[in-house]
Amino acid sequence: MTTINADAFRVLLESTPDGFFVHDTAGRILDVNARSCADLGYSRGELLTLTIDDISAGQGAEENARQWAAAPVGFAMSFGEIAVRKDGSRFPVEISLTCQEIEGRKLFFGVARDVSERVAAQEAIERQVEERTAELKDAHERLAMAARVGGLGIWDYDIARDVMECDEQWYRIMGRDAAQPVRRIAEFRAFIHPEDVERATEVHPTADRLAADGQDYGILFRIVRPDGEIRWIRSAASLVRDAQSAVIRAVGFVIDVTDAQDATASLERKSREDPLTGLANRRHFDEELRKACLQATRTGEPVTLAMIDVDHFKRFNDAGGHLRGDEALRAVADILLRTARRPYDLAARYGGDEFVLLLPGVDEPAALLRKIADELAELAIAHPASSVAAYLTVSCGCVVARELADVGPLDLLAEGDRALYRAKEAGRNGIHIAHI
């Protein structure tokens, strides 16, 4: 591990939002930060008289000692543990542990994160998952996997001299060889995703701003490993000042949080997606409709909203069963997805057997809507209970708004509903387009 100034390292210990500790191969606690004391309810002096076995409810002391003795220098791992407070109460933590040799002595540097709230949240999600679809259950499992935090990589940056020093774990996180050290910010820039490189390496303005506000450094950014893999990194640091209070260095750490980022994005997608059809759900549609109306008001471009209803779907369900009904809804959804082919088009399940198409910039939707009906006719999904046709059909009510100065989302929906009613009133399996 690259040697880092002791004072700067102390600053890092006391500024990290998680508990930090150091112990030897016998488990004796050699150092802790204030967060560890607060989490465990001990004073620093008390903790320095204890061992790791005294504050954890995991495996036995003998097994711990065996593993610590066998751990090679440079070894790093992350695992779940149950911490024991001074009052005997317990709480779950995630431990990131690295083994380093300091002055010929093997020591273990660890970060302990209290995950009580996360565990409680996960348990609540698990209860919900049992009541919902298997697809959402998969999303939750990804979230649980993402809860495991990777190792801690330490860096020390001399701002005045533009010199970086990073430990081996930092290089592991970056997917780089520590034998080819990074010494300058310009070299580090090559690791960072092009979209994040400027804000992640804007050294002097960032240091000045943080110093003025009395804040520590924290950022989330992406790196690109040599094999092309993109990883999300969280970095935090404290600023080190000289005798004249000028910021001269930053000492911090990086943690790979890719799994957590992916899980968050996945859950966000699920919260905006209809689980049966994969289309946008009502919440997502409402958001995009508001955006489309605002954009059209600014640009003067038209907006088309089409409401599509499966004809006599209740009869279809009653005759063929709900599984067959679900298959039919998915078939209609697939056609709508192919229709909403531009990045800013949106197909959504509005509710039950009713769908919507949002087509910004379109003022002549007739051909698109006829294509939907034609593709559905080609599938020829039998619907003997229909009074319209022998196969599954849809009715479509469409509103085209060419001027939205006095037209809002609710107005478009109301006009779309009226157009859909007229399409049904005309005998179904047809299209009614209104212009406002």
| Neighbouring residues of 391: CB distance < 8 A, sequence distance ≥ 6 | 376, 377, 379, 380, 381, 382, 383
Closest CA to 12 of 309, 251, 361: 251
Query: Which amino acid, 239?
Result: L
CA distance 364 to 366: 6
Side by side, the strands of the sheet bearing 303-310 are: 346-351, 354-360, 303-310, 394-401, 431-435
Beta bridge partners of 98: 76, 109
For residue 225, CA distances in Å to 56, 149, 196, 200 come to 36, 19, 14, 16
Residue 112, phi-psi category: left (phi > 0), alpha (psi -120 to 50), beta (remainder) = beta
Helices (H), 42-167: 44-47, 61-70, 116-131, 134-146
31 catalytic residue (yes or no): no
Q: Tell me which of 138, 353, 406, 411 is the catalytic residue.
A: 353
Q: Which two tokens stand for residue 182?
A: 């990074």
Query: Which amino acid, 298?
Result: R
389 burial class (0-12, 13-18, 19+ CB within 10 angstroms)? middle
Q: Which two tokens stand for residue 419?
A: 């157009």
CA distance 363 to 350: 22
Side by side, the strands of the sheet bearing 90-102 are: 29-32, 19-24, 105-114, 90-102, 76-84
| Neighbouring residues of 282: CB distance < 8 A, sequence distance ≥ 6 | 348, 349, 350, 351
CA angle 251-254-260, nearest 5°? 150
Q: Which two tokens stand for residue 63?
A: 């097994």
CA distance 94 to 96: 7
CA-based max dimension of the chain:
89
Sign of the torsion angle spanned by Cα atoms 65, 103, 175, 97:
positive
The residues annotated with a catalytic role in the active site are 353
